[in-house]
Chain A
Amino acid sequence: MGKLLEIKDLSVEFRTDKGIAHAVNDVSLSLEPGENLGIVGESGSGKSTLAHAVMRLLSPSAVITDGQILFDGTDLTALPEDELRALCGRELSMIFQDPMQCLDPSFSVGYQLTECLLAHRICGKAEAKERSAAMLERVGIHEAKEVMRRYPFQLSGGMRQRVMIAMALLTGPKLLIADEPTTALDVTIQDQILQLLKDYAKQEDLSVLFITHSFGVVADICDKVAVLYGGRVAEAGTVRQLFYRPCHPYTAGLLNAVPTMEHDKNVPLQPIEGTPVNVFRLSEGCPFCDRCGKAAEICRKECPELKEVEEGHFAACHFAE
């Protein structure tokens, strides 16, 4: 099977007044058709920058210094603007954390939905309306015709997120980039949205690049997962490999730090001590070495390469095995 998305040695830096922030460093990832890949990391780990780089939505201060992003064999980083516009929103779509900021408050939901079909000249106005209504029904909005007449502020947070998902899926993309789409939602609504995305992806053979900070969400909808730390891939593999045999101390630490519904209340949680690495001042060594219990002399001197610990399971740690 050919790869749908292949990110090769990607590095992105932000040139700011405070210096250069190395947001993404040497990241390589790939996604097969129909596969869901989760990207997990804390704030500042580079996960959103990575997603924005794929859609070429980076702010002007960001520069892709190295690497390629291949979508279906085409390098998105080198594509002229007009060809990229024809691709984005049609073959690959994106949904964001806050739907209120992404929907235009002064146009009705129906107008904004049909707009993406019309802009890509996929069909005429009448058909666009019908298709939009059908898609709204599909993402769980009943009375679709009524909702299309409304404006974003008249909808609840869960409804807005459904509208945004409908908008992203209308053009029948092959890849959906979901940047923390459920973080701002209540758990019961989050659960519904995740099921919706999961079922749709399965039925339509859609690949999802799912950016999140929650391991619970990853366990629910992803096949593969990559953990980012300090702009680097710390560990990558199938969901089962990472959850049941984490090889990087950071992954293991994150999995242990989250309180679960079974955790003994009298046993303190095991936090990862210290604070996240400053991407303005990356040292030569492993980005995690200041917070790592296993850190040795070599960790401070040499940044570990990603190595394969078992088939399809990679970890960037000197002691991974």
Chain B
Amino acid sequence: MSKILQAEDLTKDFSVRDQRGRRRMFRAVDAVNFSIERGNCFGLVGESGSGKTTTGRTVLRLIEPTAGRITFDGVDITKADMAAYRRRMQIIFQNPAGSLDPKYQVGDIVAEGLRANRMCGSRAEYRQRAEELLRQVGLFPEDALRYPGEFSGGQQQRIGIARALAVEPEFIVCDEPVSALDVSFQAQIINLLKRLQQEKGLSYLFISHDMSVVRHMSDRVGIMYRGRLLECGEAEEVIGHPAHPYTRALIDAIPIADPDRSAARTRRPPVYGAEEAVTGCCYASRCPYVTERCRQAQPEAKKIAPDHVCSCHLFE
């Protein structure tokens, strides 16, 4: 199998102002390394502010990286002209309503990418192709003439998916595609994304804060915290045998929809720490196993199983 995407030491700094109005640098993504095999799904899990969305946008170069290297299908695209790659790399956004232009008919939204890339010969062909795409995502061909506001959240997300699929991409960044949806729609969209992946051999970077959704979708996963990739590897391995204290805390905190098992689980008292910048491990202020070394030195990524890497001093 070949790698469709590889990120090496990917770093992104944003210039922000602190409370006194002074400029300073904020490192949203900090030396992140991961790769995605063709036809696979890589899940990126983390809490809000952990840098997962910035990572997703940076690999598409919707945000320019500060440092590091992005390789797509064997070609270094860190500095390349992206026009040649936009058709092959697409994105699905979290907020379906906000990512669809309310003044465009659904058919035009879906066909916009086709037109930009001159993928069809005639107007009739564009319309036919848009209708076919709508059918593929479970909508009706007649829906092409309606406007986004006439659809429910789940249907709007289907339109977003049809738009991403239109240009026949190989790689799609799914940025929290189901987080804004109701429970009954979530399962519909997850099934749709999975079916499309199998039918078209797509590769996904699947970003979510919901560990159970990521586990269901992904072949490999990465756990992010404050811009750093703390743990990464094969999905069952990482989730079944979490190594990093943060991953363990994250998995323990997932509510279980079963009263007996929910009551039976044990809880560790939370560690409250000051949220200040430290020179050492970014998780040091909340970690129950913290040592002096964690506060001083940043842990290196260490291989602890064939496809399982963890950045923690406990494993050195």
Contact = CB atoms under 8 A, between A and B. Distances in A.
A220 B253 CA distance: 11
B31 interface: no
A195 B258 contact: no
Contacts of B98: none
Interface string B153-191: 111000000000000000000000000001111111011
A186 to B, nearest CB: 4
A259 B190 contact: yes
A186 B184 contact: no
Contacts of B194: 268
Contact of B270 (A187, A192, A255): A192
A240 B258 CA distance: 8
Contacts of B182: 42-43, 213, 276
A194 B262 CA distance: 12
B259 A217 contact: no
Interface in B213-254: 213, 215-216, 239, 249-254
Contact of B257 (A195, A260, A275): A260
A213 B179 CA distance: 12
A259 B154 CA distance: 17
Nearest to B45: A187
A187 B250 contact: yes
B301 interface: no
A191 B255 contact: yes
Interface in B1-47: 19, 47
B275 interface: yes
Contacts, number: 120
Nearest to B240: A261
Contacts of A214: 183, 255, 257
Contact of A220 (B187, B250, B262): B262
A186 B47 contact: yes
Interface in A169-216: 186-188, 190-192, 194-195, 213-216
A265 B256 contact: no
A255 B184 CA distance: 10
B183 A275 contact: no
Nearest to A268: B191
A244 to B, nearest CB: 8
Nearest to A142: B272
B190 A269 contact: yes
A154 B19 CA distance: 9
Secondary structure call for the B interface: helix
B181 to A, nearest CB: 9
Nearest to A223: B259
Contacts of B195: 268
B253 A191 contact: yes
A136 interface: no
B250 A258 contact: no
B47 A188 contact: yes
B209 interface: yes
A276 B191 contact: no
B39 to A, nearest CB: 15
A190 B260 CA distance: 19
Given A186-B47, A188-B250, A261-B239, A255 B187 contact: no
Contacts of A219: 255-259, 262
B99 interface: no
Interface in A207-239: 213-220, 239
A269 B216 contact: yes
B48 A186 contact: yes
Nearest to A157: B48
A273 interface: yes
Interface of A: 42-43, 140, 142, 154, 156-157, 186-188, 190-192, 194-195, 213-220, 239-240, 243-244, 253-255, 257-261, 263, 265, 268-273, 275-276
Given A220-B255, A240-B260, A265-B216, 17 more contacts: A142-B272, A186-B47, A187-B211, A191-B267, A195-B267, A213-B183, A214-B257, A216-B255, A216-B256, A219-B255, A253-B184, A258-B186, A260-B212, A268-B191, A268-B194, A271-B186, A276-B182
